[in-house]
Amino acid sequence: MSDCIFCKIVEGELPSKKVYEDDEILAFHDIQPAAPIHVLIIPKKHIASLDDAGPEDWAVIGHIQRVAKQVASESGVSESGYRVVTNVGANAGQIVHHLHYHLMGGARLSPLGLHN
């Protein structure tokens, strides 16, 4: 996907502050952190959202959960708690249409729910 900013980050065409990388996954700091710890974890493969994931993608999505736990531990938020969330589509406020999981922690997070 030539116009996808997260594909460009994967390809190294755009910079990012990486915290984890392997053959299938990249994790990097969110450019506009909404919490003291705010990391984005993405598959290197372009998948537009969870809703676009197919059976061939479940393995990498499971892998993302494992990496989220690891990055949380390395970020020092395992004990204090953290949130792992993916936005899908307009009502969830998805802006970047390349599947990504937000890992947020380091402070008390606001409850999930309706926009106020």
Q: Least separation, in Å, of the C-beta of 59 and ligand 5GP?
A: 22
**Phi/psi at 112 (5° precision):** -75, 150
Which of 97, 100, 102, 115 is labelled catalytic?
100
Q: SS3 sequence, 65-94?
A: HHHHHHHHHHCCCCCCCEEEECCCCHHHCC
102 is catalytic: no
If the CB atoms of residues 93 and 111 are measured against ligand 5GP, the closer one turns out to be 93
Q: Choosing among ligand 5GP, Zn ion, none, which partner's interface includes residue 16 (Cβ < 5 to 8 Å by kind)?
A: ligand 5GP
Among 4, 30, 46, 84, binds ligand 5GP (CB under 6 A): 30
Contact window for ligand 5GP (CB under 6 A) among 50-58, 63-71, 74-82, 87-95? 87-95
C-alpha separations of 33 from 30, 36, 97 in Å: 5, 7, 18
If the CB atoms of residues 7 and 96 are measured against ligand 5GP, the closer one turns out to be 96
Whether 98 and 1 have beta carbons less than 8 Å apart is answered as yes
Length of the chain in terms of residues written: 116
Distance CA 53, CA 51 (A): 6
Footprint on this chain of Zn ion (rule: CB under 5 A): 1, 4, 6-7, 46, 98
Footprint on this chain of ligand 5GP (rule: CB under 6 A): 5, 14, 16, 28-32, 40, 87, 93-96
